[in-house]
A and B are shown apart, each in its own frame.
Chain A
Amino acid sequence: MKRIEAVNDFVVKFANVNGSGSASANELFAKSFLRMGIPVSPRNIFPSNIQGLPTWYEVRVTESGYLGRRGGCDLMVAMNPQTWAQDVKEIDPGGYLFYDNTKPLPQSKFRDDIHVIGMPLTEIANANYADARERQLFKNIIYVGALAGMMGIEPEVIAELVGEQYKGKEKLLKPNLNAFHMGLNWAKEHLKDALGLKVRRADSVGDKIFIEGNAAAALGCVYGGATVCAWYPITPSSSLAEAFQRYCSKLRVDPVTGKNKFAIVQAEDELASIGIVTGAGWNGARAFTATSGPGISLMTEFIGLAYFAEIPVTLIDVQRGGPSTGMPTRTQQSDILACAYASHGDTKHVLLFPEDPHECFEFAATCLDLADRLQTPVFLMTDLDIGMNQRLCSPLVWDDERRYDRGKVMSAEMLEEGKEFGRYLDVDGDGIPYRTYPGTHPTKGAYFTRGTSKNPYAIYSEAGADYVYNMQRLLEKHETAKTLVPKPQLIPAKQPARFGAIFYGSTSPAMHEALDALAWQGIFVNALRVRAFPFQDEINDFVHSHTKVFVIEQNRDAQLKTLLVNEAGINPASLISILHYDGTPITARFITKEIAEIVSALNIRPIKRDKAA
């Protein structure tokens, strides 16, 4: 029988029951690779449930640093009887099944093309612990010990991690270490050479950090100067607001007075959340809300007001599967159009697409600047895959010379000097008018903000000419936004290429890996990572310089492609959609296969690796 043999390059999947305490044991397992210098990419695959339903934790160990979901499974740690059949089925031929063999299982429960590794976990736990909860929790640590023993994870690394986790809680430290060694020793004694997946210390992690996108975005809001956060709990965005609370408690409390330089309101619903953010933005404070698709649907009326009345608002959409309640705990990029055109009437909004936590941090702060500069709603379009999984990424960066861009705010001094103030008057030709904060000047600069049409001086008007002036100016402002949003990133192929690929957001790591795999097959593709809407001319140029351009997305309806056709004037015939939308993160294998098949169907013979296109 085939036996998968791999060093520092494999996928381990843990099948657990939600609420069984497996998460921290699994995280310990994942982090141990990082400490041995091997990049790792874990993903939580969890149900919309607190206790009892199946949950999976997939760890991709990848010395070459491919952080996308690979697909397939080399080792299944099957700890959940409910999902046994499905879990066993998922293992790649020649792969491994690790299970608790305390109770014997009939042969029919297994497959003959996989290697089965049994360990009496329950028996060991029951023999060593009396308390039911302890038996459960330590069973998790015991299997981590066994895996470490079989793979060759350095026990010192685990000891270091456990030490950090239970710093100051010595009572818990020792029993955890004991459980770990119990598993380790048992495996060394009984499971020698059972597993062909091995770990060897490497030096591929460097100074990278390991953080969830939601935490990074929250920290970006702290650094970017957000003082007001209003939110309503919704998966997968709740942990973002909670992280903001956590970071603010550490970083934003005035040391002298003990007072908070932040205000966080858990509102009664998403309508109130966006209302609070709109009120704060109107009054000159930096404010944001974090939500997901259903929240965006509820917020759309206010988004229209903020667009039309020109109020800075930052919205972070941690996308999940839709429509309706959809798949609350699965990932998608399916709110692109809903956000780009949110609200009734003619509207267009600024969207930023971060690829990982590093960019979640950077773009969150950028969104706050852009919202003030453009006086409009700005969306950070992240998703569950980035938001709720710890991801290895470049360290977060902040330049102390950086100043907040508060945009065009007319001060009392400027008004006093007699500078003309028309709240909706385009004075600089960039479509962006000046605003005043309420309470600026006793007699100058006050105006009435409204969602109804008005003239350039904020006076109510139903005159067609006033309406058209305003709407054209908003278009002008949208043009100005193009010069301010992050530019797309080109990933050129190593050989001249006639095919292009456009992708964005969390597709990034899978795409990078797919590009390498395609090149290996002789298919060279130039790729462009779109980082924002409105689209810059570079995107148009990119499409025009290729025969065909693949647009890779994680939604059914090719939403970015629609936006490219609508807003960048791109001929739809030049675009080919590659769509993945089952709720799991897109994989390199999927992208590679799709592109390779299409390329061959287009009757273009794959080019030999060493020949130019």
Chain B
Amino acid sequence: MTTTAAVPTPQPTGRPLWRRLIGFNLLTAVALGVGGYYLGWFIGHQISAKSLAYQEKTSENDVALLVAYLFGVVGFLIGLGFANYPVSRLLGRPASLREKEEEGIGRYFGLCTDHKVVGMQYLIGIGLFFFIGGVNAMLIRTELLHSTPTFVGPGQYISLVGMHGTMMMGMMTSGILGPFANYFVPIMLGARRMAFPRIEALTFWLLMAAGFILTSTIFFGGFPTGWTGYEPLNDQAVMGMDSYIIFFALVGISMCLLGLNMMATIITMRAPGLTWSRLPIFVWSVLATAVLMVLAAPVLVATLTMAALDRTIDTSFFIPGGGGSSYLFENLFWFFGHPEVYILALPGFGIVLELLPVFTRKPLWGYRLAVSGMLGVTLLSFFVWQHHLFVSGINADLRPFYMLSTEIISIPTGFIFLCAMGTLWKARSSFSVPMLFCLAWVFNFLIGGLSGVFVSDTPSDTSTHGSFFTMAHFHYTIMGGLIFTFFAAIYYWVPKMTGLRFNERLAKLHFWLMFIAFNSTFLPLFAIGMMGQPRRVSQYAPNLHALNTWVSISAFVLGLSMLIFIANTVYSMIFVRLPVAMNPWRSKSIEWQIPTPVPVYNFEQVPVFDSDPYDYGTPIHVGGTRPEPAGA
């Protein structure tokens, strides 16, 4: 790599402590968020005063809660400083970033336009909500230790299921793009920042506000619809449903902006020489995901807006009594919902294909095939949504088309699989922890994909729809596909992000426990589903008790594996703090060629690329002097 375009050496700056405490930061944001919430609550009550009798009778006021949430979010963002820039632009001040970035740990608790800080914020923030979603899963499995409602009632059970599903499906949409794409895509492109750094920060803080709002649903009775929010149950539900609506709408806005920013960055900010055919495969997967985010998320936001209007001002989009139709919700929701599955899966594909060459010391097999597979999945994912409605009374003539389009999507997905297999073929692999997680993806996603054929096929879907079979299928694709690659990325890239390394022994223990417990949990669910146990119901036939007990115990072991991961993180990152080698995986990708931790400005000089990052095959010489960092 050669270099061009030298830039001036940046100088450290600082702000007085009092200024940092009372300025625009998380403290101010929480204060204004709470204030905004109560102001909105008051205004909402004034707006809806004419239906006061109804409110007093039912203790329900959807208008007040929705307005309170909106005001709360706006106050929160103002407190973080997001309103300063738009107001300054309104007055004609020129476009600029923040004058100076915050120093030290304080920058992680406020609006920061450094993509690396945002990446770290995402990692911690999403990890927190992933933990809450996981605790919900443990509670669900605790209830299913008994064949009749015991631990929680049926209403609380469905709320737990809804919280778990919504938290996981909503927050984890940015599970890989949030931390890892924000952190590494600009570096992989040879850029110093994202195209729109302020929007990048906004996507994170919107997501955090959304997560908090969803968690607050427990104070308003929860919601009974699961993560899909189906009508007419949506319209009939208590105020906890409003939390769901605002949560997913904020997630949709965050997703759309994140995708837009990623696409603009990848298209316009590539360093000289970084042609499309030299782009790291992870960046291609981010690009494909971003397309889905930009185009599918707006439909979700529009749908939830309609649902919110139905609940507040009595429009009738989804209310048959007023001329609406609940099938309209199903269609609109799944137009977003199925691409959403690929929003979760595609970054996982990218991680696996990015990491396999590193640990097999071989070039990526079928680079162009992998790219075409990702783009094929992106395109086709918009033409399959009605397979979710096979048993909901759709026109029978439509079923063959959607069955075929769904099954055709396995072809581009197969391309990805083929490229992974081709890269592994005759490789002398090293089985480091990230590699183990990638190999687990191969196993899990194969089962997820094969079981997908049964739910995409109309006749078999008729018997498996709404059962634990479907639940097992999507856990194999989403958890087996996304969460395993999420951990692969954590073990692979977090050492770069922090400069510290994980304890290898604990990491391997985490992997093996997680892999075995995951399969022990979800494989039996295929059988349980085929034997007729429905989703979202806490009561089941007594003859399924033994299998359910097995699954619950396995799920607890799966939870234990997560605790081992947390313990390893705390132990390695806080107590032991062993520094990581500059390039522990001996990767040829650019992020491993620059100093650790990555400097604020990424590169002293803009790098020039003259090849792709997968030219492995030459032996690595260990020892000797450290070469100049990329761009030096």
Note whether A and B form a binding pair: no
